[in-house]
Structure formats: C-alpha cells, structure tokens
Amino acid sequence: MFGLLIGADYTAYFNFDTLIGTTVCVGLIILAAAIVACIAVYFAKREKFRYAVLGSFAAMLVYAVIVTIINLVEAAGTTDFEDGHAGLVASGEAYPWIIAAVTIVLYAAISIALSFGLSYVKFFDAPYGGSITMFSLLPIALYSYMFGVKRGAMAGFIYGLLQTLQNPWIVHPVQYLLDYVLPFAIFGACAGLFRKVFANKNIDPRFKDGIALTCGIVLGVIARFICHYVSGAVYFGEYMPSEFDNVWWYSFVYQCTYVPIDGVICAAGAVLLMASAYFRKLVYDAVARFEKGVASAKNNVASAVSVAVGADDNGANAGSAADGAEKSDKTE
C-alpha cells in the first residue's frame, strides 16, 4: 500500500485541465488563504478568532457546494469521465463560461478573506475608528484590477460589511454608510479603472501595470478619505479636542493620521507585486480565462437568440403557407 502511494501519478490531481485537478488546486489555495487569515487574526485580535474560523469554514462550505454542482452538471452531460471530459471542462475548452463564473467567485472569496484577515494586522489604531494595516486593501484592489470595476465594487462592498465585525463605531445609518459601505465599495471600483487605459501605452511592462494599479489605488484612497472626512465632521464633531475650533479641520487632521498612510502601504505593495514578471503572468492568465468565458457566454446567448428568431420565422412562414393553401382550397 505504501509503495502504491509513493509510486502513484499525482499529476492528475494537481492541474487546471480537469475537474479533480482544478478542484484540488483551488481548494488548497482557499484553505491556505483561510489558514493565513486565521493565524493573523489569532495573533492580532484573539477575541475575533472565532469569527475568522467561522468565516473560513463558510468559504470552504460555499466552495464545496459550487464544485459539487459543477460535478453533477458535467457528469449529467457525459457518459463517463474517460472521454476527456474530466468533470469541469474538456482540457479547459468545453465550457469556458463555467471557468469564468468559477474564477470570479473564487477570486472574490479569496480576496475578501485575505483583506479581512490582513485588516487585523494593525500598525496603528485611531481612537474613534480607522487604522493603518498591513496591505489590507491590496487584495481588493488586485481583484478589481483583474476583473473590472463592477466586480471590484461588489467585493469592496462585502469587505465593508465585514468591517462591522471589528469594533464598529456606528452612531447613525448615514454615518455607517459613509464609514463602512461607501468608502470600500468606491475604492474597489476605482482600483480597476486604469488597466485598460494603460493597456496600449508604450511603457516598460515592469512598470506599466504597477502604475495603472497605483493610479486606481490613489483615486480610491482619495474617495475613501472624502467619505471618512464628511462622516467625521458631521457625526464625530463632539469628540473634537479643545485645540481645534472647526470640526471640518479637525476631521481633516484626524483622517490624515491613517487613511493616506494606509493607502501608501497598499500602493507600495501593488508596485512590488506588479514588478514581478511571474506575478503579472499569473494575473493575465486568470484574466484571459475569465474574458474567454465571458466571450463564450455572449456567443451562446447570441446563438440562442438566433435560433429563437429563426424558429419564429419558420413558424410564420409555415403559417403563411397554410393560409395560402386554405385559400386555394376555398377557391377550387
């Protein structure tokens, strides 16, 4: 038995061309991300450790449900798994739209989990909310950069909701929106704005993606600063120290103690990652799989519409022919 285990060919279980390989590889990635997040939370904020464990368990459960459904769908469409249709796709070509759907869901789950875990690793905690963290917004920014503004905004929105679990300061529903929902949703949207803008620019590849992502991060940080600034002036003026005589100036100074620094750390991480050719290859491979799936889905919809229109035309022609035949019979 031990010899069989040692001599077994495990390449079938670690690839992205078959269902079993894709399932195992992506599952291991999610598990590793969950473990890292839980460890970070345990050492940074031990009282929140159970929430991190529950969140990780929920992410793994959702993943298990997704791959089970995909297995069943693909198995129903083939007689067995010996014809090359090893579950998810046939050598990655049969159902690219499934890969696109799975890709955006899994990358979103991983990005949000990483951001949430890193947000517990704090260098500075402001007295009335806000902190300087270790790259906590970088995974959301990367997700937006890879998959677009709308999906980035949704990921940021979910991350903002999760921030409610971390010692929230909530005094009014509008303040909650300004401090937790809007700033991170807008940041997620802004981070992905410049990838296509810089795509055709004649810039060294080592710097082009880093510059594009950094521009998005800077814009997102500015939008986040404005949201916190308005919230601080309107809803937290009562906490203004006696040294200040204007709530707007007080809010500006307060936000400057953490928002810009947190943004600089995020931008520095983005530049370092995008300077790596290997990391850029990983990013664009994932983007290519996603865009191929989107194109496939659009083609499928267009084909379905064409078939439906053709069926309607054939029905109309058949009806006209029947009417003509009926009139001819009456004439005779």
pLDDT digits (tens, 9 = 90+) for 124-156: 888 888 889 988 999 999 999 998 899 999 999
Segment 172-218, tens digit of pLDDT? 889 999 999 899 999 999 998 998 888 888 888 778 888 999 999 99
Segment 24-49, tens digit of pLDDT? 777 778 788 888 888 888 777 777 77
When mean pLDDT is compared across 259-268, 297-306, 307-316, the lowest value belongs to 307-316
Confidence of residue 163 (pLDDT cuts 50, 70, 90): confident
Element (H, E) at 49: helix 49-76
Q: For residue 310, what are the contacts with CB-CB under 8 A and spacing of at least 6?
A: none
In the chain, where the domains are located:
1-94, 123-298
Q: For residue 261, is pLDDT > 90? A: yes
CA angle 88, 93, 95 (to 5 degrees): 50
Query: Burial level of 268, CB count in 10 A (0-12/13-18/19+)?
Result: middle
What's the rounded Cα separation, in Å, for the pair 135 and 147? 19
What's the rounded Cα separation, in Å, for the pair 69 and 250? 53
DSSP bridge pairs for 28:
none
Please, are residues 250 and 218 in contact by the beta-carbon 8 Å criterion?
no
pLDDT for position 242: 82
Segment 95-126, tens digit of pLDDT? 556 666 677 777 888 888 888 888 888 888 88
Q: For residue 89, is pLDDT > 60? A: no
Give the mean model confidence (pLDDT) for residues 248-271.
Answer: 93
pLDDT for position 81: 40
pLDDT for position 130: 86
- Is CATH 1.10.1760.20 the classification given to domain 123-298? yes
Q: For residue 313, is pLDDT > 50? A: yes
Q: For residue 90, is pLDDT > 70? A: no
What's the rounded Cα separation, in Å, for the pair 261 and 314? 66
> What is the percent of the chain with per-residue pLDDT over 70, rounded to a whole number?
70
Segment 52-75, tens digit of pLDDT? 777 777 777 777 766 665 655 554
Please, are residues 115 and 161 in contact by the beta-carbon 8 Å criterion?
no
pLDDT for position 288: 82
Confidence of residue 311 (pLDDT cuts 50, 70, 90): low
